[in-house]
Amino acid sequence: MPKEMIIKNTVIIAAPASKVWDALVNPEHTKKYMFGCEPVTDWVPGSSIIWRGVFDGQELVAVTGKVVSIDKGKTLAYTTFDPNGTYPDLPENHLVVTYRLVEKGGSTEFTVTQGDYSSVAEGQKRYDDTMNEGGWAGILEQIKGIVEA
C-alpha cells in the first residue's frame, strides 16, 4: 500500500471561528481568495459543489465535487475534481479537502488538508504541483487577511 500523500496547512487567525466560517462559505469572501471563484452549493452532504468564476470575461467552472460532511463553524469536507485535468472524472480521482476550525481564546486555528494523492490518477504529479505552489499556505494567508481586516 502506498504511503498517504496529504497536504496540510494551518494558520492562526485573530478572530472567532464564526467569522472565519463566514469567509469560507460566503461567496462574497471566497471570490477574494479563491481565484475569483465562488462555491455554488447548498452545503448539504451529498450535494454537488461547483467553484465558478469569470476569467477574461468568460464564465468558467474551475473545480467540481461533492459536499462530504459539514459541522457548521467547525468542519467542512468536500471532494474536488479539476475538469481541466487529463484524468477521467471518476470518484476515485477526486481529492478530499477538509477545513477544521478550533477556537482558542478569541483566535481560531484553521487547518486545511487535501488528499490523499496516493490513491488518485496522476497522484504524484498532482501532489508535487500543489506542493510546489505552497499547498494551501497562500490561500490561508489571504483568508487571514480578509478575516482580520
For residue 1, the model assigns a pLDDT of 55
- Cell numbers at residue 13, please? 487567525
Q: pTM (2 decimals)?
A: 0.93
The Cα 116–Cα 123 span in angstroms is: 8
What are the structural domains, with CATH classification, of the chain?
A: 7-148 (3.30.530.20)
Residue pair 20/110 in contact (Cβ under 8 Å)? The answer is yes
Mean pLDDT to the nearest integer, 19-40:
95
* Alpha-carbon span 149 to 11, nearest angstrom: 15
Convert the pLDDT of each residue in 62-94 to its tens digit. Answer: 899 999 999 999 999 999 998 888 999 999 999
What does the pLDDT average to over 139-148?
97
Residue 62, C-alpha cell as written in the block: 474551475
Q: Which residues contact 110 (CB under 8 A, 6 or more apart)?
A: 10, 11, 12, 13, 20, 99, 100, 101, 140, 143, 144
